């Protein structure tokens, strides 16, 4: 949200902290012959490019050579440029290091999130395997119960068939059973036997 103001504040802070070092670099560069030559060369280049660009932007076409700076102005400008380059280099390095730190932190955070997601996925896979095992066990029990029910139904059918057969057999035996001899029929048979015997005795007695 407040990225750009924060960057500007950090840059200004770095500039203020780097200024003493930049001033020391400028002083040493001015007093060193080789550095003085580099500062003058860089300053004259910058002066020509800046002046030419400004003239072009203002629409002025000039064929004259840009007048170079004198030695002291060139050395001063070169030293200022060197100080600014140092300050901006420090600022860029600090911002780069902070960006790298934030990136590393973000990478570590993403890695932690990824590991957490992997753990959750493994836990879900374990639960799925456990559920599959329970489902297979329930299916096995269901098949066993179905087999038991089929066997019981077959047994009940056999029992019913045997019961019907036994009932039919009992009815047939009851139908074929001889009639019982009553006492009156026995008395009639006895009187008939006595009569026959008396008749036989009388016949033989007369002869």
**Arithmetic mean of pLDDT, 146-166:** 86
- Record the pTM: 0.42
Residue 187 has pLDDT above 70, yes or no: no
Name the pLDDT band for 93 (thresholds 50, 70, 90).
confident
Query: Which residue do the tokens 């420090």 mark?
Result: 90
Share of the chain above pLDDT 90, in %: 0
**Arithmetic mean of pLDDT, 79-97:** 81
Q: What is the pLDDT of residues 62-73, one digit of tens each?
A: 656 778 888 888
Q: What is the pLDDT of residues 29-56, one digit of tens each?
A: 777 777 778 888 888 888 888 888 888 8
Query: Which residue do the tokens 């924060």 mark?
Result: 6
Predicted pLDDT at 98: 79
Structure tokens of 73?
Answer: 């102005």
Predicted pLDDT at 9: 66
Distances (CA, A) of 123 to 120, 129, 130, 133, 134: 5, 10, 11, 15, 17
- Least confidently predicted of 5-9, 74-78, 106-110, 175-179: 175-179
Residue 1 has pLDDT above 50, yes or no: no
Distances (CA, A) of 160 to 150, 154, 172: 15, 10, 19
Q: Which long-range contacts (CB under 8 A, 24 or more apart) does 29-33 make?
A: 29/78, 29/79, 29/82, 30/75, 30/76, 30/79
Residue 79 has pLDDT above 70, yes or no: yes
């Amino acid at each position: 949200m407040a990225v750009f103001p924060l960057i500007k504040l950090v840059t200004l802070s770095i500039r203020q902290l780097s200024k003493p070092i930049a001033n020391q670099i400028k002083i040493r560069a001015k007093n060193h012959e080789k550095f003085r030559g580099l500062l003058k060369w860089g300053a004259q280049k910058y002066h020509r490019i800046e002046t030419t660009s400004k003239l072009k932007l203002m629409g002025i076409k000039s064929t004259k050579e840009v007048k170079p700076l004198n030695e002291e102005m060139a050395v001063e400008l070169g030293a200022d440029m060197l100080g600014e380059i140092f300050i901006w280099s420090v600022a860029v390095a600090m911002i780069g290091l902070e960006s790298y730190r934030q990136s590393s932190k973000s990478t570590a955070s993403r890695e932690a999130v990824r590991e957490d997601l992997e753990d959750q996925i493994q836990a879900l896979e374990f639960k799925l395997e456990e559920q599959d095992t329970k489902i297979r066990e329930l299916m096995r029990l269901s098949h066993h119960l179905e087999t038991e029910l089929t066997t019981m139904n077959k047994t009940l059918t056999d029992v019913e068939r045997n019961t019907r057969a036994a009932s039919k057999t009992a009815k047939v035996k009851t139908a074929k059973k001889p009639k019982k001899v009553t006492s009156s029929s026995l008395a009639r048979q006895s009187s008939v036997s006595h009569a026959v015997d008396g008749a036989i005795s009388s016949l033989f007695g007369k002869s």
